[in-house]
Structure 1
């Protein structure tokens, strides 16, 4: 009887506590499977190289493989849309300025809106844009006054409508009071080749690839569109130093996730990615690839996105630029 009463008491106690919340229950480990990093550009592109550079050390920290998948097309917007629509908690993207700022402003028909559907994790690296000039202008040791005098006779290259190089040149043209003709090309190597062949007069091109050609003497470097001089373009003055302030155009690559991803998971990824970016080996590799290390956390990066989006939106509206 005693044993029976003890069993009944234990059973009643179990029934009485079965529906109570369990305190201290551990959250499931994250990530629980490989982390996908989707890149909107082809293998060997700068976002692809950055994703692979940080991928291996990141996988060691998270305890899961980091798989880089290249999904090129539409200036990275196809890949950005894939990230925006992901609900699996294990998909992020390596993205450029356009994808996280003005994509939806340039093309309202896009299936994603960066401000609504994407969450910044961290800014990885930045590179200043060099105002590169053709050999014709470089041999004349031409400056901004000569460009002003040439006015509408000038033409310039970029990697496409709505790119940072395009918008930056439109901003500069407005400051100089000139109306050069825009000639789009499929990639910066094509822009550089056209510049070296005197097919175009000038272009904004990332410092990492421009300065190789400047050192080789195939193109000239007039200025950089940054707030201060850069070690990536030694000896090249800023536009502000040449009397044209407030033309600050940088290229950058960042890590972003879907806004659907749990905040705790985003925060963990941010912390570990920043840890990777502050390791000497990774910093050396990214610098060699032509990047200034930003390692900017999500809060500061979100503020930068707001400021940059507003600035680029003004250019788009003033010049009536759109992409269908």
Structure 2
């Protein structure tokens, strides 16, 4: 009897512990979806082509091919923590090269029969930069350093020193090491940015003022008009004095000018239209067209170097300082 009573007791407990399976199960109320995984590394890779490489108002040559990486690393959290915005470390690595060595500086020289013979020089540029940027809300301010390494026969002077004027030397470009203080803000639909750049190695200042606005055409296509204005103060773009003499002749870059240490004044106005096309959530293709208009000292440079070079006769080419319409495209992918 005791055994039967024990078995009955165990059976009752097992039945009580068994869930009821008759009928539908009750639905779960207000399910909480897991937060999406943040797999964005804050890095953007880009590949691009420019029909002309225009930098700070100077047309360095035709058919510029480039690649780059840039990113942002959050150092201090946003307004939720300190009420004063976020602080980030911005960095970039960029490399470009003139395809076909079609530079704008190598002059035409007088050939043995009196005709002009066009010379060419290769040119590549590597740029490394880092800056600390703080978002104050109405505007963000950044301070950084960049190193620009100029390469190729245009930079080391091989083409000019050995082919154009043997034995004279002194031609080429120096590397550029600059400190940059920048500010960025929005004035309604217009984004405005400006920077002051000082070259630690070559001396001289370069200032710029830029504005752009984004006009949405569709969810994937936009039009971005933009304009930039530059100003130099004893600015020499990293060219050695020998190259400045050749480029400018008797002009404002030349040894016969009070601006021998570099140009001072407005350099160029650059305007253009970008057409960013969003291919997917991470990739964007951006064709563009632009126009560069040299001003002040740079405009005078374009008038000072029109003859084929010969010692004591004429200066170098003027094409680097002529107005130019150009175009290009960039493919960028965010990781």
TM-score, normalising length from structure 2?
0.19
TM-score, normalising length from structure 1?
0.20
- Structure with more relative contact order (C-alpha pairs < 8 Å, separation 6 or more): 1
Bigger Rg over Cα:
2
Task: Name the one with the larger helix percent.
Answer: 1
